Amino acid sequence: MTTALTDAAIAVLLGTVLGSGLWSILAALPHWSAPQLMRRIAPYVRDVTDPAGTSLPGPSLIDPAAGLTALLRATWRTLRRRLVPLLGGTDALTARLRRAGWDVGAERFRERQLAIALGAAALGALVTVGLALTGRFSIPALLLPVAFGTAGFIGTDMWLTQAVRRRRQRIEDELPTVLEFLALCLAAGESLHDAVKRTASVGVGALASELRAVTLETGTGSNLATALATAGERIDVPGVSRAFDHLLSALERGAPLAAVLRDQASDAREDRKQAMLDQAGRNEVTMLFPLVFLILPLSVLLAVFPGIHLLRLG
């Protein structure tokens, strides 16, 4: 059984290499690799015959390279059209992409996720063939392509989750500074809109980019209160949402905005300090694992082994 599988794997590998080599040789031949006569003269007569270029013929399928490219593109379009809609979750995925700050749509992300999963599955298939060639093939090795593809699919989603978490942490770190700068601008006599615009123009970071989006929305006719509320929902950070809600409430009731922003900055700084203390406590517990399971047993072994060796010699 193992010998038959090894022979089959060798046959598949050698056939793939032979086919790729013959395809490359044929593609390099002048008769096949040269473009068609119509494609060569089309740029010189297109202005009088076909200005839009709609009747220009595509690459000839006789050309091996062009035929292989067209076949791969058609296969990928078919897989994308059939599998991407099955993944679903477009609205939730779009919200997560916005929280991560990625300028990519949900469908485009699903396409990348599918491509990574297929690439991982192909890598698993290569590993399976390698095991068969080395004579270490077993029945569970047939599950490697599925396992690799699943890991690539789930890993891409985990990558997005980590990006959301990192950006949320950056926004929480930047929030007290941004609020204090807004309070300083308001205390200097600027309006809320001018303060937000100045902060967005001089600030750097994730929260400053969100304020730039708010400034862009107000510049295109949107209300400042609506833009801030939309930004709070898009960011989905409790501290930012709470600060924007208090700011909008103070704006509606006529309360002093500078004092409100200073209080919000102080609260955000205290929340961040408490979060850092909690994170330090969790890291302290995490550091106990290598100490207990690695360093301490090694220390005991180094202390006890010489005594045991001496007892054996005695």
Residue at 102 is within a domain: no
CB 126 within 8 A of CB 101: no
CB 60 within 8 A of CB 36: yes
Distance of CA 123 to the CA centre of its chain: 20
Residue at 266 is within a domain: yes
Residue at 279 is within a domain: no
Residue at 26 is within a domain: yes
Residue at 114 is within a domain: no
List the domain range (segments joined by +) for residue 227.
Answer: 169-273
**Tokens matching residue 231:** 């930004």
pLDDT in tens, the chain (314 residues): 556 766 776 777 788 778 777 777 766 666 555 566 666 676 666 555 555 555 555 544 445 555 566 666 777 677 777 766 776 667 788 888 888 888 887 878 888 888 888 889 888 888 887 777 777 777 777 888 889 989 988 998 899 999 988 988 888 888 888 888 888 888 888 888 888 888 888 878 888 888 888 888 888 877 888 888 888 888 888 888 888 887 888 777 777 778 878 888 888 888 888 888 888 888 888 888 888 888 888 888 888 887 787 778 76
Residue at 299 is within a domain: no
Nearest in space to 23 (alpha carbons), one of 71, 57, 56, 58:
71
Residue at 185 is within a domain: yes
The CATH number assigned to the domain holding 267 equals: 1.20.81
Q: Provide the domain count of the chain.
A: 2
Dihedral of the CA atoms 19, 21, 24, 29 (nearest 10)? -110
Residue at 241 is within a domain: yes
For residues 208 and 179, what is the distance between their CA atoms, to the nearest angstrom? 11
Secondary structure of residue 31 in the 3-state scheme: helix
Residue 133 backbone class (left: φ over 0; alpha: ψ -120 to 50; beta: rest) = alpha
Look up residue 174 and give its amino acid.
E
